[in-house]
C-alpha cells in the first residue's frame, strides 16, 4: 500500500490569538506551531495500515521552511518519507488554493498511491474542505470525519461521524479519507525515531516544479475584516447554599434570561 | 438566483437547512434575487412544500434511484448538472456533517472557493459578504467572493427561521443521469447512537460536564437534566472525553465541536482556552464550579460557586417545577 498523508503546521490549541488590524492578519510572534491535532490521527492510521499490510507512508506539507519541524515529527513517529512543498504565501483561508497545489502534485510528480489521508480539518482555518476538494479534483471517492477504517483488497469501509449517529460508507481505492479523533491513539515519537528523523533528508519541491501557474493559485476569497470575539461582561456569580442557589438559577433562567 | 441545498433525514427537511433557506431569502430580497432550493434523492418530491414555506419560490428535485443513499461523488454530479443549467449566483448549504462534506466537493467541481461554517451574512455592493470563525471562535474573519457562484455553508442554530408562509411554489423535477460507476462512495447504513441523543450542534440547550464530574457514572446526573430540559443535548470537556467517561461525539471545544445554543450549562468545567473557544458564542452561559477562580466564570452570565453534586438534584426539581408551570 502506498499511503500519502497531508499535514499542516498550525498554532497550538493553547494559543491566544491576537489580530493585527492594519494587515487583517493573525500576529505570528509568540505563537507555538505544531502538527495540526487531527493530522496526528491521519499519520497514525497510515502507520497502522502499513504495519498490517506493508507498504510505505509518505507525508506531505505545503508551507514555508519552518514546516520541516512537523514533517520531522511525522518521520519520528515512523513515516518513511516526508516532502516539503515550498509555498511562502502564508495563510489565505482559501482551501481551493491548497487543494489545487496538492492535486497538482498528485497529478504530475507523486502519481502512485492507494490512499490519501488528511486530518478532518486544520486547527485554525477550521475549513474542513481540502480533503473533499482534492477528491473532486482527482475524481476519487471520499469519506470524511472517519472514526473507523477497514481496508480489504482494493476496497474499504469507513464509519464517519454525523449528528447523533455514524454513517457506514463503502468505497474503492484509491480514495480520500479524513481522520476524526477516536480513529486511533496517535503514538509518541521514540528516541530512536527522533534520531533517525534527524538524519533523514526532506526533499523540497517548488510550485514551479509541479507545473503550477501562479494565476491558478489566485485566492478566491477576499478577506474584508478580521476581529476578535466581543469581550463578555462578567455575569452574576452567587455562593448560596445549594438548594437556594439552584432556585435562584432556575428563576433567573425563566425570568431574566428567558431561555427556558 | 440563490440556490439552497435542502438536507433531509427521516423524511423531513432538517431545521438547519430551513435556517439557511430563511437567511437566503432575507439576502435574496435585499439583492432582488430569486431564492430557490434543491432536493437530491429518490422519491423526495413530497418535501418541496416545506421549502416553499420557508421562502423558496422554486424547488428543484433531482431524482435518481442511485441517490437514495448519500454519496458525496454522486450528489455532486447531480448538483453540477443542475447548476450548469440554472447558473445561480449564490449557493448556500447548512454547515452540517453532510453540508461540510458535500459543499467543498461541489465547489471544487465548479472551480470556486467556499466559505465554511459562516455565522453571519450581509449584502455588500449587491454581493454576499460572510463572517466565519477562525480557531473555533478565537477570531472572526469576513469575506467576499471573487468568482461566481458565491458559495458558503451556514452554521446550524445561528440563523433565525423565517415566519412560515403559504406553501406555494413551483416544483421542477429532473431525472438526472448518473453512470453507476460515478457513484464512488456511498453510505450503506446509518448507525444511530444509543438513545438517539440530540447532537450538541443542533440542540437549543447544551448541558456539559467536565473533569469535576469525577467519573463516567456521574454523567447520568447530567442525562437526568437533559431529560428535563426540552431540545437539549449532553456535552463534555476534553478532559472528560480523554478520561473516557463519555464519547468524543459530545466534546465541545477546539478539538471537538463549536456550539452556539440558547443556553449552555457547564458543570465542573474549569474553562480551558480551547473549551471557551468552542462555546463562548452561546447566547446564555451558566457555570457551576467549586473553584471561584475557574476561568469559566469569566464568560458565565450566571455562576454558582459550589459543589455540583449538591446543586444538580435541587436544580433538576426547580427546573421541572418551572417548566410545568
pLDDT of amino acid B195? 59
User: Which tens digits make up the pLDDT trace of B123-170?
Assistant: 999 999 999 999 999 999 999 999 999 999 999 999 999 999 999 999
Rounded to the nearest integer, the mean pLDDT of chain A is 96
Contacts of A225 in chain B (CB under 8 A): 131, 141-142
Contacts of B146 in chain A (CB under 8 A): 218-222
Q: Packing angle between helix A191-199 and helix A68-77, nearest 10 degrees?
A: 130
Contacts of B187 in chain A (CB under 8 A): 167-169
CA-angle at B204, arms to B323 and B140, nearest 5°: 145
pLDDT of amino acid B196? 57
Question: Domains in chain B, start-ordered, CATH in brackets?
Answer: 2-182 (3.40.50.620), 194-324 (3.40.50.1220)
Q: Which of A13, A161, A237 sits opposite B274 (nearest CB)?
A: A13
Interface confidence (ipTM) of the complex: 0.96
For chain B, residues with pLDDT lower than 50 are: none
pLDDT of amino acid A215? 82
Within B27-154, strands assigned E span 35-41, 58-63, 90-94, 114-118, 120-124, 127-134, 139-145, 150-154
Alpha-carbon separation of residue A64 from A5, A219, B59, B218 (angstroms): 18, 18, 46, 47
Q: Which of A132, A168, A219 sits opposite B105 (nearest CB)?
A: A132
Q: Which of B107, B117, B184 sits opposite A141 (nearest CB)?
A: B184
Entry pTM: 0.96
Name which of B224, B300, B230 is nearest B265 in CA terms: B300
Residue listed under C-alpha cell 471520499: A142
pLDDT of amino acid B64? 97
**Residue A184 cell numbers, joined:** 486511533
Cβ contact, residue pair B190, A168, below 8 Å: yes
Distance from CA of B168 to the nearest CA of A (A): 31
Cβ contact, residue pair A257, B301, below 8 Å: yes
Cβ contact, residue pair B255, A141, below 8 Å: no
Question: What CATH architecture is A2-217?
Answer: 3-Layer(aba) Sandwich (3.40)
Cβ contact, residue pair B141, A14, below 8 Å: no
Distance from CA of B276 to the nearest CA of A (A): 11
pLDDT of amino acid A230? 87
CA distance B145 to B88: 14
Q: How many CA atoms lie within 13 Å of A24's alpha carbon, on the beta-carbon side?
A: 11
Three-state DSSP state, A245 = helix
Backbone phi, psi, residue B42, to 5°:
-130, 115
Cβ contact, residue pair A127, B116, below 8 Å: yes
Size of interface A-B (CB pairs under 8 A): 296
pLDDT grade, residue A202 (50/70/90)?
very high
Domain boundaries, chain A: 2-217
pLDDT of amino acid B166? 92
Distance from CA of B170 to the nearest CA of A (A): 31
Name the residue of chain A whose CA is nearest to B153's CA. A127
Cβ contact, residue pair B138, A163, below 8 Å: no
Distance from CA of B27 to the nearest CA of A (A): 19
Beta bridge partners of B40: B62
Amino acid at each position: 500500500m502506498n499511503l500519502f498523508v497531508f499535514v499542516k503546521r498550525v498554532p497550538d490549541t493553547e494559543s491566544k490569538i491576537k489580530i493585527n488590524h492594519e494587515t487583517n492578519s493573525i500576529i505570528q510572534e509568540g505563537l507555538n506551531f505544531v502538527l495540526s491535532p487531527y493530522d496526528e490521527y491521519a499519520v497514525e492510521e497510515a502507520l497502522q495500515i502499513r504495519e498490517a499490510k506493508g507498504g510505505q507512508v509518505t507525508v506531505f506539507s505545503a508551507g514555508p521552511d519552518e514546516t520541516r519541524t512537523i514533517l520531522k515529527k511525522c518521520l519520528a513517529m515512523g513515516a518513511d518519507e516526508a516532502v516539503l512543498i515550498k509555498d511562502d504565501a502564508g495563510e489565505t483561508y482559501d482551501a481551493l488554493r491548497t487543494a489545487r497545489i496538492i492535486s497538482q502534485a498528485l497529478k504530475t510528480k507523486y502519481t502512485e498511491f492507494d490512499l490519501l489521508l488528511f486530518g478532518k480539518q486544520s486547527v485554525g482555518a477550521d475549513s474542513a474542505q481540502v480533503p473533499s476538494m482534492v477528491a473532486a479534483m482527482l475524481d476519487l471517492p471520499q469519506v470524511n470525519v472517519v472514526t473507523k477504517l477497514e481496508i480489504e483488497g482494493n476496497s474499504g469501509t469507513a464509519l464517519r461521524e454525523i449528528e447523533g449517529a455514524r454513517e457506514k460508507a463503502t468505497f474503492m481505492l484509491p480514495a480520500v479519507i479524513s481522520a476524526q479523533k477516536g480513529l486511533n491513539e496517535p503514538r509518541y515519537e521514540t528516541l530512536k525515531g527522533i534520531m533517525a528523523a534527524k538524519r533523514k533528508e526532506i526533499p523540497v519541491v517548488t510550485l514551479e516544479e509541479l507545473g503550477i501557474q501562479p494565476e491558478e493559485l489566485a485566492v478566491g476569497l477576499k478577506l474584508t475584516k478580521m476581529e476578535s470575539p466581543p469581550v463578555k461582561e462578567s455575569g452574576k456569580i452567587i455562593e448560596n447554599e445549594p438548594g437556594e442557589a439552584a432556585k435562584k438559577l432556575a428563576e433567573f433562567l425563566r425570568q431574566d434570561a428567558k431561555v427556558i | 438566483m440563490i440556490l439552497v441545498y435542502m438536507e433531509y433525514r427521516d423524511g423531513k427537511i432538517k431545521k438547519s437547512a430551513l435556517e439557511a433557506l430563511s437567511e437566503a431569502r432575507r439576502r435574496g430580497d435585499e439583492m432582488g434575487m430569486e431564492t430557490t432550493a434543491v432536493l437530491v434523492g429518490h422519491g423526495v418530491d413530497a418535501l418541496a412544500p416545506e421549502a416553499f414555506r420557508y421562502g423558496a419560490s422554486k424547488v428543484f428535485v433531482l431524482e435518481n434511484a442511485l441517490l437514495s443513499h448519500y454519496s458525496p461523488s454522486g450528489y455532486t454530479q447531480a448538483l453540477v448538472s443542475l447548476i450548469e443549467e440554472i447558473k445561480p449566483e449564490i449557493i448556500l448549504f447548512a454547515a452540517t456533517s453532510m453540508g461540510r462534506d458535500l459543499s467543498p466537493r461541489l465547489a471544487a467541481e465548479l472551480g470556486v472557493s467556499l466559505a465554511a461554517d459562516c455565522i453571519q451574512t450581509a449584502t455588500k455592493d449587491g454581493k454576499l459578504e460572510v463572517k466565519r470563525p477562525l480557531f473555533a471562535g478565537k477570531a472572526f474573519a469576513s469575506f467576499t467572493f471573487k468568482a461566481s457562484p458565491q458559495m458558503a455553508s451556514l452554521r446550524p442554530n445561528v440563523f433565525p427561521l423565517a415566519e412560515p408562509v403559504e406553501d406555494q411554489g413551483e416544483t421542477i423535477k429532473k431525472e438526472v443521469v448518473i453512470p453507476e460507476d460515478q457513484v464512488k462512495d456511498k453510505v450503506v447504513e446509518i448507525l444511530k447512537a444509543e438513545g438517539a441523543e440530540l447532537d450538541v450542534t443542533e440542540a437549543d440547550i447544551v448541558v456539559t460536564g467536565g473533569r469535576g464530574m469525577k467519573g463516567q457514572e456521574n454523567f447520568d446526573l447530567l442525562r437526568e437534566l437533559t431529560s428535563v430540559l426540552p431540545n437539549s443535548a449532553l456535552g463534555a470537556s476534553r478532559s472528560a472525553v480523554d478520561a473516557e467517561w463519555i464519547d468524543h461525539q459530545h466534546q465541545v471545544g477546539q478539538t471537538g465541536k463549536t456550539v452556539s445554543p440558547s443556553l449552555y450549562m457547564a458543570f465542573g468545567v474549569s474553562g480551558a482556552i480551547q473549551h471557551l473557544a468552542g462555546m463562548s458564542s452561546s447566547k446564555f452561559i451558566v457555570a457551576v464550579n467549586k473553584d471561584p477562580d475557574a476561568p469559566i466564570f469569566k464568560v458565565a452570565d450566571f455562576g454558582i460557586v459550589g459543589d455540583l453534586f449538591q446543586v444538580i438534584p435541587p436544580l433538576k426539581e426547580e427546573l421541572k417545577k418551572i417548566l410545568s408551570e
